[in-house]
Amino acid sequence: MTIFASRRGLLKLGGAASLGLVANPAVAAPSTERKLGYAIVGLGQYADVILPRFAECRYSRVTALVSGSMEKARRYAARYDVAEAGLYTYDTFDTIRDNPDVDIVYVILPNGMHHEYTLRAAAAGKHVMCEKPMANTAAEAQAMIAACRAADRKLMIGYRCHFEANNREAMRIVREGELGKARIVTAEHGFNIGDPTQWRLNRALAGGGSLMDIGIYSLQAARYLTGEEPVEVSAVESTDRSDIRFKEVEDTINFQLKFASGVVANCVSTYGSGHNRYRVVGTEGWLDAEAATGYGGNRLRLRRNGQTADHPAPDLPVNQFSGMLDHLSQCVMTDSQPIVAGEEGLRDMKIIEAIYLAAREGRTVRL
Ligand code: NDP
């Protein structure tokens, strides 16, 4: 049994799958107001989402930028007030070990580069925040955990939804039994992918198709909403290989997860149409979220006691991005385990591999 503090006092939840219902309160407040320094590796679209959020952080700041282009790094440095000494290319990255202003390396590179840069960051003596999916394979994920452990550094995966108000409230509602016994989860994530030349459609850089990139949100939701681990998976893939975008990776791969308690999750993962939703139906009611896992504007509706109503989640002190960044800083300062550590990323990678196997062989795979 794991014990978590919640808004309602102390809560007991069972199983290794318990993800920590209350993020920051689960970690003691650091005794100092020091801000740890982050190095952002890869200045792409998602780095553009993350970088402005340091302004709202209490324990985190940006002290270094790593990019393939020094000109680009300098442009970002001017915007986010990073010193010239904190600018690196991929070739000079390893010298970051000599920079005492960098405590944490945040890997926001294409998936296929997560493994290499996590290992290099750990070798440089830095803690690591690594974007999802953790790596291209479970074996790589395992090596990343081992490298960070050997270097005595923290490793956290950028699973921001664990720090987002609606998602946390949805977890609480389901896990506290407010819908009765959870029976069926439906989780849908997808978008219509564009540019056929982008790295997301390149197997070496992406590791796979929609499942690695967006379907992973359906998998995560099924796991964090129920607080359980799947014991069986089955899957169906549908990819038009004559479509120039899908020469190397899959388009749609829908999968079903069966959990030990009997809950079943039906999950959508696609690069063909827009989906951002989940629904949990229990014996006493249901919960429906759409948008479910967006950067903002998420909405929750509940049906309980015969009534259906919008359910605005109680506010959290900070947005999901700043909460996530500060969580790792707090874990470093208090020597605590992040609620979404490398092991959590590895669990997803193992299930993802089982989903691919199930689709390829047309059979149910036991986990
Ligand atoms: P982008 O393509 O927008 O950015 C990736 C950056 O990586 C590039 O801008 C580039 O930065 C650097 N890079 C280095 N080598 C390569 C290469 N061979 N090909 C392409 N880029 C390269 O991707 P995203 O920012 O959208 O995604 C990055 C990671 O973040 C992925 O793992 C993705 O899954 C994750 N992500 C997570 C989200 C979340 O909500 N948690 C949302 C979006 C993405 P530079 O020019 O500075 O070298």
Q: How confident is the model at residue 113 (pLDDT cuts 50, 70, 90)?
A: very high
Distance 42 CA to ligand 1 centre (A): 6
pLDDT digits (tens, 9 = 90+) for 225-250: 999 999 999 999 999 999 999 999 99
Cβ–ligand 1 contact at 154 (below 6 Å): no
Query: Does the structure show a pLDDT above 90 at 2?
Result: no
The CA distance from 212 to 269, in Å, is 9
- Annotated catalytic, 224? no
Q: Which atom of ligand 1 is nearest to the CA of 43?
A: 47
pTM: 0.94
3-state class percentages of the chain: helix first, strand second, coil last, to nearest 5: 40, 25, 35
The predicted structure's pLDDT at residue 32: 74
- Annotated catalytic, 132? yes
Bridge pairing between strands 155-157 and 127-130: parallel
Task: Give the whole-number percent of the chain exceeding pLDDT 90.
Answer: 91
Query: Does the structure show a pLDDT above 80 at 333?
Result: yes
Query: Does the structure show a pLDDT above 60 at 18?
Result: no
The predicted structure's pLDDT at residue 26: 58
Cβ–ligand 1 contact at 191 (below 6 Å): no
pLDDT digits (tens, 9 = 90+) for 194-220: 999 999 999 999 999 999 999 999 999
- How many other CB atoms sit within 10 Å of the CB of residue 103? 24
- Structural domains of the chain, with CATH: 2-160+321-340 (3.40.50.720), 165-315+348-366 (3.30.360.10)
- Phi then psi for residue 224, to 5 deg, are -80, -25
Single-letter code of the amino acid located at 286:
W
Which residues does 71 contact at the CB level (< 8 Å), separation at least 6? Answer: none
The predicted structure's pLDDT at residue 15: 29
The predicted structure's pLDDT at residue 4: 30
**Among candidate residues 295, 324, 343, the one with its CA nearest the CA of residue 27:** 324
The predicted structure's pLDDT at residue 280: 98
Asked if 138 contacts 350 with a C-beta cutoff of 8 angstroms, the reply is yes
Q: Write out the two tokens for 307.
A: 């009534």
Average pLDDT over residues 265-291: 98
Find the catalytic residue in 88, 106, 132, 278.
132
The predicted structure's pLDDT at residue 10: 27
Best of 117, 131, 198, 293 for a ligand 1 pocket test (most atoms within 8 Å of beta carbon): 131
The CA distance from 144 to 343, in Å, is 10
Query: Does the structure show a pLDDT above 90 at 68?
Result: yes
Distance 82 CA to ligand 1 centre (A): 20
Cβ–ligand 1 contact at 200 (below 6 Å): no
Cβ–ligand 1 contact at 180 (below 6 Å): no
The overall average pLDDT reported for the chain is 93
Cβ–ligand 1 contact at 171 (below 6 Å): no
pLDDT digits (tens, 9 = 90+) for 297-318: 999 999 999 999 999 999 999 9
Q: How confident is the model at residue 13 (pLDDT cuts 50, 70, 90)?
A: very low
Cβ–ligand 1 contact at 68 (below 6 Å): yes
